Structure 1
Amino acid sequence: MTINKQDPQVPALRDADSERPIPSAWRPVICEIVRAFVGRDYALSVGVPGVSPVSSETAEHIEKYIQHYGEELVELPEETWDSSVCIWMGVRWDALIDLWTSSEGRSDLVLSLRVSEDGSGFKFDVYMVYVP
């Protein structure tokens, strides 16, 4: 998909046939999730509006995966939206966000999210951080 550079808004489309760029409306929330991970708050204990609580089991898995990877996460640069994608799964979107580290830039790690709509907007569920 080609994004019109003069219209930087990326809509959330229900397209089950192809991967799409991460919608513009999701990006600030995703940045907050990653900011928490950079601060080693894998359970999102402070909370991020629109994001479901992360179970202690999932938070432990994320922490171990990042520690095992052996690099320091950094906040998401604007370039992450060039390679991160989502796809409509019939009832929700699955999203893969490329994560960045201080020494590598874009890393092999991804943040996997499940995104759905509710009456007030979008609801985000952190699924996992891993190397696909």
Structure 2
Amino acid sequence: MQINDKDVVIAVVKNEEQGPIPSAWRSVIRHIVDALAHHDYQLAGGIPGVAPVSANTGMQIQGYIERYGETVVPLPDETWETSVCIWTGHHWDVMIDLWTAQEGCSDLVLALEVHDTGDDVVFYLHMVYVP
């Protein structure tokens, strides 16, 4: 029997080794990237579980994407093959490979912090950049 990758559940792990993006986070991350693809750099529509984005951070993200010169698009399933997270001891650093209409998988990365509140997690949009 062949197992579809979509059926594999990636657990949330507090491990100081780089690992794949947990399945439970992927929907929220997709919503964040969808907002960026629609030029909503401050996530003005609000996304449950995501902290508000400051005007300064939103402007920095907008400027970086505009200077990159490509059109960010919603995430395909392939992004989970190369995107990673790592537990730092008090939060997870998350690096999501962004895709563009012109390039497919681009050099742009979405950097997030994910904080464990005890009952849930909160996502903080940190920056978009080329590492």
Which TM-score bucket, shorter chain as reference?
Answer: over 0.9
Query: Which residue does 2:94 correspond to in 1?
Result: 95
Query: Which residue does 1:45 correspond to in 2?
Result: 44
Q: Which runs of 5+ in 2 are unaligned?
A: none
The verdict on how the C-alpha distance between 1:91 and 1:31 changes in structure 2, with shifts beyond 3 A counting, is same
1:55 aligns with 2:54: yes
CA displacement, residues 22-71 of structure 1 (integer Å, 9 cap, x when unaligned) = 00000000000000000000000010000000000000000000000000
Distance 2:126 2:79 in 1: 19
After the TM superposition, which residues 1-132 of structure 1 pair with which residues of structure 2 at under 5 Å, given as runs?
Answer: 5=5, 8-16=8-16, 18-132=17-131
SS for the counterpart of 1:107 is strand
The verdict on how the C-alpha distance between 1:38 and 1:9 changes in structure 2, with shifts beyond 3 A counting, is same
Q: Which runs of 5+ in 1 are unaligned?
A: none
- Could you tell me which amino acid in structure 2 is paired with residue 8 of structure 1? V
> How many equivalent pairs are there?
128
SS for the counterpart of 2:110 is strand
Distance 1:6 1:126 in 2: 25
SS for the counterpart of 1:103 is coil
TM-score by length of 1: 0.93
The verdict on how the C-alpha distance between 1:14 and 1:102 changes in structure 2, with shifts beyond 3 A counting, is same
